[in-house]
């Protein structure tokens, strides 16, 4: 009998996010510097003849384990491409908040594809896995390897992995889910529009933390302003993060509502997280390292 397989589904964090335009088909072209946190969900696969999913963990309450879940959708999509697979029952320990801009569902789906690839002797570089990942969701391809890189287009264009210095961060979610579609509606780009955008040469900023943070300061998350209109709680949250002792940069990740604050060392970030968790017990607060 094949032993169970386990993987971590690490949180995806958008350090930058430029909206380059909106295509005639309605999709938005993006360019984002994506990194991954040391915190995330855990996904286990117990090989067997029947596909299934159970969900637990502190953020698992109320989540559906039916065919609409991205874990099962990813497994079904891979089987549709390759034919019969070895699969089984998944168990998801959910720690990341949902609808939060840090790719929790996408990371889980990518985790399912990694486990199925391992069980079926597939390489993560296999073009079938990349194709299936994009079908499941725009953020799933970058989550497959969970390595720092530039993601562009609608998620299908991935640059080579980047060697960034570790960034000490606090991730904060105020418990307000923000729908990505609502944020893009608020952005209100017309069909077929394009925006001027000068790409950043990130390879020139990866030698040290100060250089990287300086480069990040010169960039933005173009979805931050529309997201603060959809969820007004975000503006005072970002202001509060920026005023934390030692904060070098405060920004929203993805389409929200999770925000991040960057610090010079783990002690300062841990102290900031402790303060926030004490003052706001209803928030999800996590000190972590981004790579």
Pairing of β 157-158 and β 18-22: unpaired
Residue 289 backbone phi and psi in degrees, to 5 = -115, 130
pLDDT band at 82 (very low <50, low <70, confident <90, very high): very high
Cα angle for residues 243, 210, 147 (degrees, 5° grid): 100
pLDDT band at 38 (very low <50, low <70, confident <90, very high): very high
In angstroms, the CA 243 to CA 262 distance is 12
Asked if the model's pLDDT at residue 96 lies above 80, the reply is: yes
Q: Which residues have a Cβ under 8 Å from the Cβ of 180 and sit 6 or more positions away?
A: 99, 254, 255
Per residue in 241-270, pLDDT (tens digit) is 999 999 999 999 999 999 999 999 999 999
What pLDDT, on the 0 to 100 scale, is given for residue 204?
Answer: 67
- What is the residue-averaged pLDDT of the chain? 95
Same fold, 5-158 and 167-290: no
What pLDDT, on the 0 to 100 scale, is given for residue 166?
Answer: 96
In angstroms, the CA 207 to CA 282 distance is 38
CA–CA distances in Å: residue 193 to residues 6, 199, 267 = 43, 18, 45
Per residue in 150-209, pLDDT (tens digit) is 999 999 999 999 999 999 999 999 999 899 999 999 999 999 999 877 777 777 655 799
Contact assessment for residue 32 and residue 139, using Cβ atoms and an 8 Å cutoff = no
In angstroms, the CA 150 to CA 18 distance is 11
What pLDDT, on the 0 to 100 scale, is given for residue 271?
Answer: 98
**DSSP three-state, residue 1:** coil
Q: What is the CATH number of domain 167-290?
A: 3.30.70.890
Pairing of β 87-93 and β 52-56: parallel
**DSSP code, position 200:** -
CA–CA distances in Å: residue 1 to residues 74, 89, 102, 114 = 24, 14, 36, 20
What pLDDT, on the 0 to 100 scale, is given for residue 251?
Answer: 98
Q: Which residues have a Cβ under 8 Å from the Cβ of 68 and sit 6 or more positions away?
A: none
**What proportion of the chain, given as a percentage, has pLDDT over 70?**
98
Based on its alpha-carbon atoms, the radius of gyration of the chain, rounded to whole angstroms, reads 19
This prediction's pTM: 0.95
Domain boundaries, the chain: 5-158, 167-290
What pLDDT, on the 0 to 100 scale, is given for residue 99?
Answer: 86
Query: What architecture is domain 5-158?
Result: 2-Layer Sandwich (3.30)
What pLDDT, on the 0 to 100 scale, is given for residue 199?
Answer: 73
Determine which helix (DSSP H) or strand (DSSP E) holds 80, and give its type and residue range. helix 70-82
Residues with catalytic roles: 12, 139
What pLDDT, on the 0 to 100 scale, is given for residue 205?
Answer: 58
Once rounded to an integer, what is the mean pLDDT over residues 98-125? 96
Torsion of CA 256, 257, 262, 263, to 10 degrees: -170
In angstroms, the CA 187 to CA 272 distance is 32
Nearest C-alpha neighbor of 166 from the set 99, 265, 77, 258 = 265
Once rounded to an integer, what is the mean pLDDT over residues 206-229? 92
């Amino acid at each position: 009998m094949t032993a169970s397989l386990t993987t971590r589904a690490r949180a995806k964090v958008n350090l930058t996010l430029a909206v380059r335009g909106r295509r005639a088909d309605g999709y938005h072209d993006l360019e984002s510097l994506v990194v991954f946190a040391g915190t995330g969900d855990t996904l286990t696969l117990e090989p067997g003849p029947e596909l299934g999913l159970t969900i637990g963990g502190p953020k698992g309450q109320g989540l559906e384990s039916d065919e609409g879940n991205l874990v099962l959708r990813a497994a079904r999509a891979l089987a549709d491409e390759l034919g019969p697979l070895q699969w089984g029952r998944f168990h998801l320990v959910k720690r990341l908040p949902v609808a939060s801009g840090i790719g929790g569902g996408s990371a889980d789906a990518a985790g399912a594809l990694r486990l199925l690839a391992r069980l079926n002797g597939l390489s993560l570089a296999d073009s079938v896995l990349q194709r299936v990942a994009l079908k499941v969701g725009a953020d799933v391809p970058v989550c497959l390897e969970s390595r720092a890189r530039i993601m562009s287009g609608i998620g299908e264009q991935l640059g080579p992995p980047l060697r960034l210095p570790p960034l000490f961060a606090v991730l904060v979610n105020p418990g307000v889910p923000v729908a990505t579609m609502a944020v893009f509606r608020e952005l209100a780009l017309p069909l077929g529009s394009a925006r001027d955008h000068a790409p950043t040469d990130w390879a020139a900023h990866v030698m040290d933390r100060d250089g990287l943070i300086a480069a990040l300061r010169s960039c933005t998350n173009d979805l931050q302003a529309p997201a603060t209109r959809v969820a007004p709680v975000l503006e005072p949250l970002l202001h509060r993060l920026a005023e934390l002792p030692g904060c070098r940069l405060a920004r929203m990740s993805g389409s929200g509502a999770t925000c991040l604050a960057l610090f010079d060392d783990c002690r300062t970030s841990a102290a900031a997280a402790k303060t926030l968790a004490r003052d706001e017990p209803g928030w999800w607060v996590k000190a972590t390292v981004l790579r």
